[in-house]
Amino acid sequence: MTIFGSLHRTVYSLWLFLASMDLRLLSEVECTSAAEIDRHLQMGVQMLAKGQLHDALSHFHAAIDGDPNNFLSYYRRATVYLALGRSRTGLQDLDEVIRLKPDFNAARAQRGGVLVKLGRLEEAHIDLENVLRREPGHEEANRLYVMVEPLKREVLEAYSNVRTGRNHQAVMLLKGIIEKCPWDASLRDLRAEAYQALGDVMNAIADVRVTTKLVQDNTQGYLRLSDLYYSIGDVAQSLSEIRECLKLDPDHKECFQFYKKVKKVNKFNNDAQEQINNKEYEDCVASARKILREEPEEEEVHFLAYDKLCQCHIPLAPTKAVTFCQEALNIKEEPRLYCEIADAYIADEMFDEAARYFQKALEADDSLQRAKEGLERAQKLKKQASKRDYYKILGVRRTSTKKEISKAYRSLAQKWHPDHFDGEEKKKAEKMFIDIASAKEVLTDDEMRAKFDNGEDPLDPEQQQGGPGGQGFNPFQHFQFHQGGGFPGGGGFQGGGFKFHFN
């Protein structure tokens, strides 16, 4: 028993020693933590004074983690959150401050101001009243307090104006309200509705975009943005906005349905533009028609289709091009479309009509360079039409491809080959044959054809040498007839007595 009693006393003494050590260590840790917390608070205040808000925020986070019951840490962090425009988290910190210290008047006054900005006017009224009960002379609380009741009446009036179709009055009224309540997303939505009713879609878009920042995970905001962009025919931006909705909620039914539609329309529109660029005009017509099938109602989207159909048909069927251009103009007047119509008339060799539409484009936009150059071109082409017209010589359209031009040339060259004629008829055939070859030379050379399409004959020395002072145009100067043989390089015909080639 003596041995066991001695052992028991020894163990008990050791336990007491260890326990006292733990208490001393705990006390030292608490002292270190308190010092560290104070350091974070001081550093946070310094960073805040320098405007280094994110650095300040980091120090206040650390201080709160060290002591979650220090109301001043929450108050200072709330100040940083509000300076960063993060009203939701700032308000949460102010709520915590007032929970920890209900009589902290400065925090309650600040919360009242935040609630006014958020449009939560009833709650703001209560906070501000409490502040003034304790501190009647509080300047900011008095300023906000007298503002609350008139604001509530104005908000009710704004909603009434929108409901009754007085949208202009609503917009004017909401301008002042939103200046005082800038963080109220519902007021932005209301003004966007009024703007949209007035046809001011871009201002509606601006307001809805702000709500996507004010409201967390605002899928409806992105859906509305997408719909607004779609309504003005900006399908690419519409697609971008609806994708933001699906990033927030991949299972959002409305967003997914709209996404499928916008994605198709955007693809068809891009396809049509690419096909115009690649001169794949029939494919372009097919793509543009798909837009109309996919979207039966929205006029601004129809504009995209008619615009593409207008451009695609100029080389294929100029008369149809004019019709589609006019359909597009009926939806939205764009000076460029008058130029498209003018180009269609040029393709149909109706130069007076072309000049008239280029003039219309200039009346709509007097700085439009395409119209200025087009008008000059139409006038030159009209003058040129009284001289040699290489398209008419070959019997092809101005929009014909090189393949079509070469085919027409071969057919006419066979028909008018001088070997098929005698006497006076042979001289006529030689002249015709040379004109056919001249036409082929110009229209199968990209540079010469571009000159001719701009009203300049690249085979006319008077035009190439600056006017009548030149040597005069000799239609035979580029060609020779030789007895026996054909075209060099396999490009001509063998006849009974002539070989024809370029010098």
On average, the pLDDT of the chain sits at 85
CB 398 within 8 A of CB 347: yes
pLDDT in tens, 369-406: 999 999 999 998 888 776 777 887 787 787 788 888 88
pLDDT in tens, 167-200: 999 999 999 999 999 999 999 999 999 999 999 9
Calculate the dihedral angle through the C-alpha atoms of 77, 83, 84, 86, rounding to the nearest 10 degrees: 70
Residue of 352, 430, 349 whose CA lies nearest to 389: 349
Q: How confident is the model at residue 438 (pLDDT cuts 50, 70, 90)?
A: confident
What is the reported pLDDT for 244?
98
Show the domains of the chain with their CATH numbers.
32-155 (1.25.40.10), 219-385 (1.25.40.10), 390-461+477-502 (1.10.287.110)
Q: What letter represents residue 102's amino acid? A: P
CA dist 76 and 422 (Å) reads 108
CB 454 within 8 A of CB 373: no
Say whether 496 sits in a helix, a strand or coil: coil
Mean pLDDT of 9-20: 42
Is pLDDT above 60 for 492? no
Say whether 373 sits in a helix, a strand or coil: helix
What is the reported pLDDT for 386?
67
CB 177 within 8 A of CB 187: yes
What is the reported pLDDT for 454?
77
Q: Which range has the worst mean pLDDT, 142-151, 296-305, 379-388? A: 379-388
CB 157 within 8 A of CB 173: yes
Most confident stretch, 410-414, 458-462, 471-475, 491-495: 410-414
Residue that is written with structure tokens 């082409």 in the block: 381
What is the reported pLDDT for 388?
75
What is the reported pLDDT for 461?
65
Is pLDDT above 90 for 439? no
Say whether 134 sits in a helix, a strand or coil: helix
Is pLDDT above 50 for 215? yes
Put simply, whether the predicted model's pTM sits higher than 0.75 gets the answer no
What is the reported pLDDT for 476?
43
- Give 421's contacts (C-beta < 8 A, 6+ positions apart): 428, 429
- Give 210's contacts (C-beta < 8 A, 6+ positions apart): 185, 188
Q: Which range has the worst mean pLDDT, 35-39, 209-213, 433-437? A: 433-437
Q: Which range has the worst mean pLDDT, 72-86, 149-163, 224-238, 456-470? A: 456-470
pLDDT in tens, 316-345: 999 999 999 999 999 999 999 999 999 999
Residue 501: strand pairing partners: 480
Residue of 164, 168, 172 whose CA lies nearest to 199: 168
CA dist 84 and 494 (Å) reads 87
Say whether 395 sits in a helix, a strand or coil: coil
Mean pLDDT of 333-358: 94
Residue 231 DSSP code: H
Mean pLDDT of 6-31: 42
Mean pLDDT of 7-28: 42
Is pLDDT above 50 for 480? no
What is the reported pLDDT for 34?
81
CA dist 139 and 105 (Å) reads 13
What is the reported pLDDT for 4?
39
Residue of 301, 297, 350, 299 whose CA lies nearest to 322: 350
Higher pLDDT among residues 129 and 2, named by residue: 129
pLDDT in tens, 246-255: 999 999 999 9
What is the reported pLDDT for 176?
97
Is pLDDT above 90 for 367? yes
